[in-house]
């Protein structure tokens, strides 16, 4: 099966027995492997932007932790080196299946890969970059690619990137702002569309899109004034004692048993005794027939 670009990198078994590996912390061990994978993604030109590395690693490690692991890796693995704007591995091409365009299959270490004319552009630019030195366009694109959430269509995105006139710092700031805005939308329950393809995002100059603050987003939330919630509330009535809202069928029963309703004063005992004596006196001269219920005098 022919290969396109880099599809694997070597992670040699002997690493597990390398004393340098065990001299590093677990975070540094994990990040060392991440750097190898990231080198394959960036043609061995890993940006030194810690924020971009944190995003590319998809890690919860703090920037300070990532920085300290880099120091450990550089101390123990001398082939991991640092230049003005990048990290890279010496002799990295020996750890991948990448083959330069138009290279003879007889000189390659693996099966040849198919490269169409349209796909030559990125690889030829990378070859020219190595011959002439650092290419700021490539370095800036690497930073953009690592930061942008939707990593699809890298070749088309790079072509679009070369045509724009915006500084990479503006693009990175716009991406961070839009990521933050989307997070706030999710918290408020608002619709969040999928990220556009990076080529589309660049061609449409989406870094110039307006980003709303949380206060502005809250103003877009639907209000209950004209909705079902307001109509339901309008049909309920407040209790005259506790002022809570109840359905018309429930309000009467609630008011009779409302804890805040005033309780009637207890009747005076003398008044009750006098009333009972009066009732007893009225009933002494009458009797009730058990059959017809007729009253008869004594």
* Higher-scoring residue by pLDDT: 112, 242: 242
Inform me whether the pLDDT recorded for 174 exceeds 50. Answer: yes
Reference 21, options 77, 67, 74; nearest CA is: 77
Q: Across-strand partners of 47?
A: 86
Min mean pLDDT across 55-59, 80-84, 143-147, 230-234 is at: 230-234
Write the pLDDT tens digit of every residue in 104-134: 444 444 444 444 444 445 556 556 555 555 5
Reference 235, options 250, 256, 221; nearest CA is: 250
Nearest-Å Rg of the Cα atoms of the chain is 40
275 and 286 Cβ atoms separated by less than 8 Å: no
* Higher-scoring residue by pLDDT: 68, 241: 68
What is the CB neighbour count within 10 angstroms for residue 147? Answer: 21
Mean pLDDT of 143-165: 90
* Higher-scoring residue by pLDDT: 6, 154: 154
* Higher-scoring residue by pLDDT: 256, 159: 159
Helix (H, G, I), strand (E, B) or coil at 82: strand
Mean pLDDT of 89-93: 82
Q: CA–CA separation, 252 vs 20, rounded Å?
A: 81
What is the residue extent of each domain of the chain?
13-115, 133-221, 225-257
Give the phi and the psi of residue 236 in degrees, each rounded to 5: -90, 155
Question: Measuring CA to CA, how many Å separate 277 from each of 209, 273, 281, 284?
Answer: 91, 6, 6, 11
What is the pTM assigned to this prediction?
0.37
pLDDT of residue 259: 82
pLDDT of residue 206: 94
Q: Angle CA(118)–CA(119)–CA(125) in degrees, nearest 5?
A: 110
Q: In the block, which residue shows the tokens 């079902």? A: 228
Average per-residue pLDDT for the chain: 75
6 and 96 Cβ atoms separated by less than 8 Å: yes
Q: Across-strand partners of 246?
A: 237
pLDDT of residue 104: 43
**Residues 108-124: b if buried by 16+ CB within 10 A, e if exposed:** eeeeebebeeeeeebbe
pLDDT of residue 203: 93
pLDDT of residue 94: 74
Q: Angle CA(233)–CA(234)–CA(238) in degrees, nearest 5?
A: 75
Q: pLDDT grade, residue 289 (50/70/90)?
A: low
pLDDT of residue 133: 52
Q: CA–CA separation, 139 vs 162, rounded Å?
A: 12
Please report how many Cα atoms fall inside a 13 Å half-sphere around the Cα of residue 296, on the Cβ side: 8
Write the pLDDT tens digit of every residue in 192-219: 889 999 999 999 999 999 988 888 888 8
Inform me whether the pLDDT recorded for 262 exceeds 90. Answer: no
């Amino acid at each position: 099966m022919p290969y396109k670009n880099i599809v694997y990198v070597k992670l040699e078994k002997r690493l597990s027995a390398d004393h340098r590996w065990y001299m590093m912390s677990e975070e540094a061990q994990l990040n060392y492997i991440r750097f190898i994978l990231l080198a394959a993604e960036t043609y061995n030109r890993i940006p030194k932007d810690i924020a971009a590395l944190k995003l590319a690693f998809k890690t919860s490690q703090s920037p300070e932790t990532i920085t300290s692991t880099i120091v450990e890796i550089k101390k123990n693995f001398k082939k991991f080196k640092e230049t003005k704007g990048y990290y890279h591995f010496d002799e990295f091409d020996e750890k991948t299946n990448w083959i330069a365009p138009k290279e003879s299959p007889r000189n390659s270490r693996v099966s040849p890969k198919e490269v169409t004319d349209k796909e030559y552009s990125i690889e030829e630019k990378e070859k020219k970059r190595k011959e002439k030195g650092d290419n700021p366009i490539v370095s800036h694109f690497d930073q953009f690619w690592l930061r942008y959430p939707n990593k699809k269509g890298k070749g088309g995105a790079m072509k679009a990137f070369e045509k724009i006139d915006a500084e990479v710092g503006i693009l990175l700031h716009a991406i961070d702002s839009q990521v933050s805005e989307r997070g706030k939308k999710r918290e408020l329950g608002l619709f969040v569309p999928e990220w556009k393809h990076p080529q589309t995002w660049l061609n449409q100059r989406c870094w110039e899109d307006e980003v709303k603050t949380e206060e502005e987003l809250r103003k877009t939330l639907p209000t209950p004034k004209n909705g079902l919630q307001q109509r339901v509330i309008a049909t309920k009535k407040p209790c005259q004692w506790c002022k809570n809202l109840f359905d018309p069928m429930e309000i009467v029963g609630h008011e009779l048993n409302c804890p805040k309703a005033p309780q009637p004063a207890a009747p005076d005992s003398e008044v009750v005794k006098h009333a009972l004596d009066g009732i007893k006196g009225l009933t002494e001269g009458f009797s009730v027939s058990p059959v017809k219920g007729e009253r008869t005098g004594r």
